[in-house]
Amino acid sequence: MDSNRTMTYIEAIRDGLRTEMRRDPDVLVMGEDIGGEFGGAFKATKGLEAEFGARRVMNMPMTELAFIGAATGMGLMGLRPVIEVQFADFISTGFDSIVQYAATTHYRWGAAVPWVIRAPADGGIRSGPFHSQNPEAWFVHTPGLKVVAPATPADAKGLLLAAIRDNNPVIYFESKPLYRSLRGAVPRGDRATPIGRARIAREGHHVTVITYGEMVRQALTAADSLAPEVDVEVIDLRTLKPLDRDTVTASVRKTGRAVVAHAANRLAGVGAEIAADLGQAAFEYLDAPIHRIGGLDVPVPFSPPLEDAYRPGADDIMAAIRETVAY
């Protein structure tokens, strides 16, 4: 029997939740409208209450600060909650529970807080400023958290399994534009993707594009469009904290050029840390300045042409690659 199945990105998330809930009775899910036939705003939890019951699929009121705090208490008592915030934008209402308490608990008194927050992030689907943000930099900057951002259906499941099994609090950023538009092979069973290990999504020798989430698809599109003119290597970070600095550095030392891209606004984004790190670890190998690509420093527009101008895509990555190679 084939060890893989073809699934959409969101089907892989649901499969990951079901796999862990069957494997470990201490795993539960909680969030707004996640139970019953509704199954969450994007249907990621549809069918779970019918299988596991309302004690393990818990509908919450619109009080992120309270139910994330409750999940921390559950984690301290031995459970493994998976929290859905309907949109990553709403995570700000639970910020204090995350960064002031859950992230510091192990440091302060040695206790594990094994929860996962599923945060549907990113734009490109005309949802406006309250439903399109990429707030990952807040949490990468916070000691005590792990942060992951899968770009494929296989990693959507694999990183979710790893996050649920991790004894640290993990923020799991899932890319809404990929939910039903991206299909791929997903391993059956409980094969986890290790946290902290990047993936070489495409091998090349002229320039390295370093990215994550939906921008991996954009980078691969750009790389395919430029071949054979330019041989582009694409690094899918998969984990934003801890960063796999070794894989990134090795690739840039090989190619001599780097483009760092993300959908989040560029100012003080994750790409800034990567570029600064490469400036130290690979300076003598660089044949061109490191090129950073990110969103504009404005709220995410609702208007389609304005959002397209705000948010980088394959054409922007292609232009950056050409500029970097021609330097």
DSSP H or E stretch at residue 165: helix 153-165
For residues 53 and 122, what is the distance between their CA atoms, to the nearest angstrom?
31
Strands 258-265 vs 207-211: parallel, antiparallel or unpaired: parallel
- The dihedral of CA 143, 214, 150, 198: what is its sign? negative
pLDDT score for 37: 80
CB-CB neighbours of 5 under 10 Å: 14
pLDDT score for 201: 98
Q: Which whole-number Å values give the CA distances from 321 to 173, 228, 324, in the listed order?
A: 26, 13, 5
Strand order through the sheet with 207-211: 199-202, 232-236, 207-211, 258-265, 291-295
131, 205, 262, 291: the active-site residue = 131
Mean pLDDT by runs of 10 across the 327 residues of the chain is: 87 98 98 91 95 97 96 98 97 97 97 98 94 97 98 98 98 98 95 97 98 98 96 98 98 98 97 98 98 97 96 98 97
131 annotated active-site = yes
Structure tokens given for 32: 């707004």
pTM exceeds 0.85 for this model: yes
Of 69, 41, 60, 217, residue with least CA distance to 130:
41
- The dihedral of CA 277, 279, 285, 287: what is its sign? positive
pLDDT score for 301: 96
pLDDT score for 297: 96
pLDDT score for 3: 81
Q: Which residues pair with 207 in a beta bridge?
A: 232
CA 290-320-224 angle, 5° bins? 120
- Strand segments, DSSP code E, in 178-288 are 183-187, 199-202, 207-211, 232-236, 239-241, 258-265
pLDDT score for 2: 66
